């Protein structure tokens, strides 16, 4: 049974998916219906959704979680802000605006948006890039606030555009191993950045694209003798406190109070402020403190957009990193808290958050792991907790700013280094990757090396590009296996299964879709396969037809170069007396072959056509008749119904049931009829198609007859070169069964030709 017969027997049909454009238009049209509009608004403004379902009992939990997260957030926001190379107050601003926007547009109830180490580092790199070198000349007198607001606006814009064009799909190309490597390398940047602050000295800035990290390390090593002893002492004290509290206080505290995290950093900061204030560290000992912290609500301002031409690259990479981290966090609790993360909406929420907050002195924000964990563990159940935590931050900005002024910068730097250091553990994933997924291993290594040698933004792009490249490897280097038979229906690689038996004809599996990047390999394989025959041919002794079976079940699609390769292979094998048989060829590939004229045309039988036409006519008349009878019956019934209704009023009614039975019957019949009609329309279409094909064929035949005998011969040869329907089989077994007969036929034809 060849493929065509198989398809006919089992009723093969191709349901053409709706046109992409049509589908999109239709989906878009739905928005304007009432229900669709409601749904769309609810999707795009999740606040309407969760606030309408909000239950009073959640309130206390949300407020508690919000307060906890808010308090936890204060030191984090300030220290990460210094990581971004900015005064700590900007971190507070960022932690105020972002959660408010996110609560309106975000779909995850636990994600806490705000400062995040990696994005802060990227912001820092961007600021340094802009304030030094060529850019400093191009944009003289640029303040860091101008840079971050411009960056924030562009990041938000990128994310919004990406969301509108559904580019969240493209973000899937950034694998977790890449993110892990970026995180790992970013730590080095973070730590190296903070070391001068910890020891209280400063290093000159270098504006280099390559190896800036190593140069900074060198600079630090050179400048370390200039350290400030008091700053170093204070940092050391902070570090000891942090280590002790992590090892001792935190476990103790956890036993006492499970929900509220130990306010480690807050205590350290309070202590440091007290010491600094009373000993007057800044003035007396040269320990740098924050000195001035602006009070009150930040000023509204319009970001500069002329910087975009230089910072688009940074904005794009921040947009990608922020998104991928936010999605990872959002998904973490999705199954536990039973919500479904809408990745597109998350992207939009991030975009609007960054877009909106860019009108205040705020840098791009993202979700952060530690805060999200705190938020969830302290009981957050809805986005309200984010709003509460924002209000806490607002309180700090409004009222406590002045108290923060004596805080030594080195304490914040120590906190950053202490927190960031734990991310270095990411490299412990490497042995796991090496063991189970070599691709992930190399993606990690390449991303890490690029990030360490250049910067985070190139790391993101190279990570994506390299991951994309690993996708190409199975296409570029497909394995080819010779199959043997196990049992009746099973064909497995001979190298893998000892009991796989030799088949009368070689069966070859080419383990990738045949496309441009492996067409050459396929051709080589076919050439190897017939190299013996080729040699015999060179000696003039080309005898005996044989067959080669290709198992094509991995060929999910093909392209023009793939089709050329198949054509060439079919041709070449034919020249050396071998028939190429295709088994398990997917229907989509067959359609492509047919469109390219690679498969011989379907033979059309005129008698069959006429029969089909008659059948359709009969069917049509049947349907018409039935329709008539049905309509008459239903009309009658309606009349009866009315009568009955009247009668019922009089007699108290018992015929209702009978009537409804009949009604159901009629509606069923009508449905059946409608389906039959649909099918008929389909059949008619097919008939018209086949008729057209026939006409085309007849036209071609006429043209063919007009040609000179030479050209006729040429055309005939071309036809012969096409893949015949007898070369395509639904399974290897069918191909094996059919091969001997095919060979005999070919042999006969060949002998006849030869004898001529």
Q: Edge to edge, what strands does the sheet with 490-493 contain?
A: 490-493, 480-486, 507-510, 546-551, 578-583, 728-729
Tokens representing 686? 């097919």
Nearer to a second copy, 172 or 221 (CB): 172
Closest CA to 392 of 366, 369, 374: 374
Nearer to a second copy, 229 or 490 (CB): 490
Among positions 124, 358, 454, 592, the unique one binding a second copy when judged by CB under 8 A: 592
CA 695 to chain centroid: 47
Which is it for the CA torsion 108, 110, 113, 117, positive or negative?
negative
Contact set for a second copy, span 429-458 (CB under 8 A): 432-433, 435-437, 439-440
Nearer to a second copy, 498 or 708 (CB): 498
Cβ pair 327, 369 in contact under 8 A: no
C-beta atoms surrounding 202 within 10 Å: 12
Among positions 422, 587, 624, 660, the unique one binding a second copy when judged by CB under 8 A: 587
- Could you tell me the smallest distance in angstroms from the CB atom of residue 443 to a second copy? 9
Contact set for a second copy, span 614-653 (CB under 8 A): none
Report which DSSP code applies to 299: P
Residues, the chain, total? 756
Cβ pair 85, 127 in contact under 8 A: yes
Question: Which residues, in sequence order, are CB contacts of 307 under 8 Å at separation 6+?
Answer: 130, 139, 142, 146, 147, 150, 151
Contact set for a second copy, span 10-49 (CB under 8 A): 10-15
Per-residue binding letters, 456-495, with a second copy (x by CB under 8 A): -----------xxx-xx-xxxx--------x--xx-x--x
Cβ pair 46, 345 in contact under 8 A: yes
Nearer to a second copy, 277 or 516 (CB): 516
Closest CA to 460 of 320, 300, 658: 320
- Could you tell me the smallest distance in angstroms from the CB atom of residue 389 to a second copy? 29
Nearer to a second copy, 217 or 508 (CB): 508
Backbone phi, then psi, for 724, in 5-degree steps?
Answer: -85, 160
Nearer to a second copy, 231 or 558 (CB): 558
Q: N- to C-terminal Cα distance for the chain?
A: 33
**Separation CA 136–CA 128 (nearest Å):** 10
Tokens representing 462? 């190279």
CA 55 to chain centroid: 35
Contact region with a second copy (CB under 8 A), list: 108-116, 120-128, 552-560, 642-650: 552-560
Nearer to a second copy, 365 or 518 (CB): 518
- Could you tell me the smallest distance in angstroms from the CB atom of residue 218 to a second copy? 24
Among positions 243, 557, 625, 653, the unique one binding a second copy when judged by CB under 8 A: 557
- Could you tell me the smallest distance in angstroms from the CB atom of residue 95 to a second copy? 29
Nearer to a second copy, 205 or 575 (CB): 575
Nearer to a second copy, 146 or 551 (CB): 551
Contact region with a second copy (CB under 8 A), list: 8-16, 115-123, 195-203, 640-648: 8-16
Contact set for a second copy, span 492-531 (CB under 8 A): 492, 495-500, 511, 513, 515-518, 520, 527
Contact set for a second copy, span 298-337 (CB under 8 A): 335
- Could you tell me the smallest distance in angstroms from the CB atom of residue 5 to a second copy? 13
- Label the pairing between strands 728-729 and 578-583: parallel
Nearer to a second copy, 330 or 401 (CB): 330
**Separation CA 264–CA 78 (nearest Å):** 14
- Could you tell me the smallest distance in angstroms from the CB atom of residue 738 to a second copy? 16
> What is the full DSSP assignment across 389-433?
HHHHHHHIIIIIGGGGTT-BHHHHHHHHHHHHGGGGGGGGGHHHH
**Separation CA 514–CA 551 (nearest Å):** 12
For position 165 contacting a second copy by CB under 8 A, the verdict is: no
Contact region with a second copy (CB under 8 A), list: 59-67, 171-179, 311-319, 411-419: 171-179
Distances from the Cα of 159 to the Cα of 76, 153, 155, 165, angstroms: 25, 10, 6, 10
Nearer to a second copy, 292 or 560 (CB): 560
Cβ pair 65, 379 in contact under 8 A: yes
Tokens representing 174? 């950034």
Cβ pair 266, 407 in contact under 8 A: no
- Label the pairing between strands 507-510 and 546-551: parallel
Contact region with a second copy (CB under 8 A), list: 120-128, 174-182, 283-291, 678-686: 174-182
- Placement of tokens 């329907």 in the chain: 725
- Could you tell me the smallest distance in angstroms from the CB atom of residue 482 to a second copy? 13
Among positions 136, 173, 391, 508, the unique one binding a second copy when judged by CB under 8 A: 173
Nearer to a second copy, 202 or 560 (CB): 560
Number of residues near a second copy (by CB under 8 A): 68
Closest CA to 373 of 640, 76, 104: 76
The residue ranges that bind a second copy (CB under 8 A) are: 9-15, 169, 172-173, 175-177, 335, 340, 343, 432-433, 435-437, 439-440, 467-469, 471-472, 474-477, 486, 489-490, 492, 495-500, 511, 513, 515-518, 520, 527, 553-554, 556-561, 563, 568, 572, 587, 592-593, 595-596, 730-731
């Amino acid at each position: 049974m060849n493929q065509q017969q198989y398809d006919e027997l089992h009723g093969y049909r191709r349901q053409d998916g709706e046109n992409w454009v049509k589908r999109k238009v239709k989906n878009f049209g739905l928005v304007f219906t009432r229900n669709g509009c409601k749904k769309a608004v609810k999707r795009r403004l999740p606040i309407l959704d969760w606030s309408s379902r909000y239950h009073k009992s959640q309130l206390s939990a949300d407020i508690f979680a919000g307060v906890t997260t808010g308090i936890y957030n204060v030191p984090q926001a300030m220290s990460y802000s210094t990581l971004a190379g900015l005064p700590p107050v900007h971190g507070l601003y960022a932690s105020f605006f972002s959660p408010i926007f996110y609560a309106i547009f975000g779909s995850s109830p636990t994600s806490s948006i705000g400062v995040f180490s990696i994005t802060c580092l990227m912001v820092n790199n961007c600021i340094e890039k802009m304030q030094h070198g060529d850019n400093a000349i191009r944009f003289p007198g640029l303040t860091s606030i101008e840079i971050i607001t411009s960056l924030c606006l562009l990041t938000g814009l990128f994310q919004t555009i990406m969301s509108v064009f559904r580019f969240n799909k493209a973000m899937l190309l950034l694998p977790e191993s890449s993110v892990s490597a970026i995180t790992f390398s970013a730590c080095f940047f973070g730590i190296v950045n903070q070391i001068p602050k910890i020891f209280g000295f400063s290093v000159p800035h270098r504006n280099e694209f390559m190896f800036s990290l190593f140069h900074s390390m060198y600079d630090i090593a050179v400048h370390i003798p200039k350290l400030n002893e008091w700053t170093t002492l204070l940092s050391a004290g902070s570090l000891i406190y942090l280590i002790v509290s992590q090892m001792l206080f935190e476990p103790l505290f956890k036993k006492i109070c499970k929900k509220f995290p130990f306010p480690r950093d807050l205590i350290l900061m309070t202590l440091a402020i007290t010491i600094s204030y009373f000993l007057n560290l800044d003035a007396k000992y040269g320990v740098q403190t924050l000195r001035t912290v602006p009070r009150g609500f930040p000023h509204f301002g319009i970001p500069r957009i002329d910087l975009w031409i230089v910072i688009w690259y940074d904005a794009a990479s921040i947009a990608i990193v922020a998104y991928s981290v936010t999605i990872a966090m959002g998904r973490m609790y999705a199954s536990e808290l039973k919500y479904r993360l809408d990745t597109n909406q998350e992207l939009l929420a991030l975009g609007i958050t960054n877009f909106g907050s860019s009108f205040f002195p705020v840098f791009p924000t993202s979700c952060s792991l530690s805060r999200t964990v705190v938020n969830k563990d302290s009981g957050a159940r809805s986005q309200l907790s984010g709003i509460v935590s924002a209000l806490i931050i607002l309180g700090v900005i409004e009222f406590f700013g002045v108290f923060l002024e004596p805080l030594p910068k080195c304490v914040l730097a120590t906190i950053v280094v202490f927190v960031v250091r734990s991310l270095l553990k990411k490299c412990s994933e490497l042995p796991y990757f090496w063991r189970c997924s070599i691709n992930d291993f190399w993606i990690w290594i390449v991303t890490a090396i690029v990030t360490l040698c250049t910067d985070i933004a190139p790391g993101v792009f190279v990570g994506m590009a390299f991951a994309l490249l690993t996708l190409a490897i199975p296409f570029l280097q497909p394995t080819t296996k010779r199959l043997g038979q196990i049992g009746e229906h099973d064909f497995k690689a001979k190298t893998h299964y000892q009991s796989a038996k030799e088949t009368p004809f070689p069966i070859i599996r080419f383990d990738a879709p045949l496309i441009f990047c492996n067409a050459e390999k396929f051709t080589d394989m076919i050439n190897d396969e017939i190299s013996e025959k080729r040699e015999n041919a060179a000696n003039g002794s080309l005898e005996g037809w044989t067959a080669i079976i290709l198992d094509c079940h991995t060929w999910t699609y093909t392209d023009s170069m793939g089709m050329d390769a198949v054509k060439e292979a079919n041709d070449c094998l034919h020249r050396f007396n071998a028939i190429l048989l295709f088994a398990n060829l997917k229907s989509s590939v067959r359609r492509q072959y047919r469109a390219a004229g690679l498969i011989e045309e379907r033979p059309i039988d005129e008698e069959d056509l006429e029969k089909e036409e008659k059948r359709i006519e009969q069917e049509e008349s049947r349907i018409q008749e039935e329709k008539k009878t049905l309509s008459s019956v239903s009309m009658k019934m309606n009349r009866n119904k009315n009568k009955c209704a009247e009668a019922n009023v009089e007699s108290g009614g018992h015929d209702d049931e009978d009537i409804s039975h009949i009604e159901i019957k009629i509606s069923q019949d009508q449905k059946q009829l409608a389906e039959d009609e649909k099918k008929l329309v389909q059949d008619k279409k097919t008939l018209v198609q086949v008729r057209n094909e026939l006409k085309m064929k007849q036209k071609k035949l006429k043209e063919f007859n007009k040609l000179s005998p030479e050209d006729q011969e040429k055309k005939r040869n071309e036809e012969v070169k096409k893949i015949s329907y007898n070369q395509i089989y639904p399974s290897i077994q069918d191909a094996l069964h059919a091969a001997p007969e095919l060979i005999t036929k070919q042999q006969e034809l060949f002998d006849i030709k030869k004898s001529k």
